[in-house]
Amino acid sequence: MNTLKIIKIVILLLFIFVPNSIGKDNDLYDISNELMCPVCQGQTVAESNSGLAISMREVVKKKLDQGQKKEEILQYFVGIYGDTILAKPPTSGFGIILYIIPISFFLFSVLFWIYRFKK
């Protein structure tokens, strides 16, 4: 009977503590995947194995352990490296052009081909 109680307590503790660590690992990956590695070309911090990327992942992990939110951590790195550290360009200011140009080019080409085939 005592072993059954111990097993129940262990299972209960697993349900309490394991999801928290899994959630933090997911947050660590999500944030690291939104930061570009300053050393490697075309790789995110999550993908890179450079020394700087490893230290950046450690900083992200430390800040998550301190209870900081994703936006606060991203703003911390933007404050150090600028907007170029972000994997996705910001949707304000000059960065909005990077979203508008492909859409407008697509719409222009569709209208061009519609006009062309109507002739």
Token pair of 72, please?
């606060």
Residues of the chain above pLDDT 70, percent: 85
- The pLDDT mean for the chain works out to 83
Averaged pLDDT, 67-91:
88
Answer for the pair 31, 75: CB distance below 8 angstroms, yes or no.
no
Q: What is the pLDDT of residue 83?
A: 84
In the predicted model, is pLDDT for residue 14 greater than 80?
A: no
Q: What is the pLDDT of residue 58?
A: 93
In the predicted model, is pLDDT for residue 29 greater than 70?
A: yes
Top-level class of domain 2-88: mainly alpha
| Distance linking the first and last C-alpha atoms of the chain | 87
Residues of the chain above pLDDT 90, percent: 30
66-76 pLDDT per residue, tens: 989 999 999 99
Q: Which of 21-30, 42-51, 107-116 has the lowest mean pLDDT?
A: 21-30
Q: What is the pLDDT of residue 10?
A: 74
For the entire predicted model, the pTM comes to 0.61
The DSSP result for 34-101, as a single string, is TBB-SSSSS-BTTT--SHHHHHHHHHHHHHHHTT--HHHHHHHHHHHH-GGGBSS--SSGGGGHHHHH
In the predicted model, is pLDDT for residue 119 greater than 60?
A: yes
Q: What is the pLDDT of residue 63?
A: 92
